[in-house]
Structure 1
Amino acid sequence: MLSIIRETPPHVFGVRATGQVTADDLKSVLLPGLEVLTQQYGEIYYLLVLETPVENFTAGAWFQDMIAGLKHFTKWKKAAIVTDEKTVEKFTDAFSYVAPGEFKGFPMSLLDEAIDWLTIKT
Structure 2
Amino acid sequence: MIELLKGFPSNVVAIACHGDVSRQDYDDVLIPAVEKALQSNNKVRMLYEVAPDFAGYDAGAAWEDFKTGMEHFSKWDRIAVVTDVEWIAASVKVFSVFMPSTIRVYPLADAAQARLWITQAA
Give the superposition deviation at 1:99. Answer: 0.8
User: Contact 1:89–1:104 at 8 Å: present in 2 too?
Assistant: no
Match status 1:104 vs 2:109: no
Deviation at 1:115, TM superposition (A): 0.9
The sequence identity of aligned pairs, in percent, is 27
Higher strand share: 2
Q: Which amino acid counterpart does residue 74 of structure 1 have in structure 2?
A: S
Which 4+ residue blocks in structure 1 deviate beyond 4 angstroms? none
Query: Counterparts in 2 of 1:1-122, with a 5 A limit?
Result: 1-51=1-51, 52-53=54-55, 56-122=56-122
Question: Any gaps of 5 or more consecutive residues in structure 2?
Answer: none
For normalisation by structure 1, the TM-score amounts to 0.90
1:30-53, Cα deviation, whole Å (9 max, x unpaired): 100110111111111001110214
Q: What is the TM-score normalised by the length of structure 2?
A: 0.90
Structure 2 letter corresponding to 1:82: V
RMSD between superposed Cα atoms in Å: 1.4
Distance of 1:105 and 1:91 partners within structure 2: 10
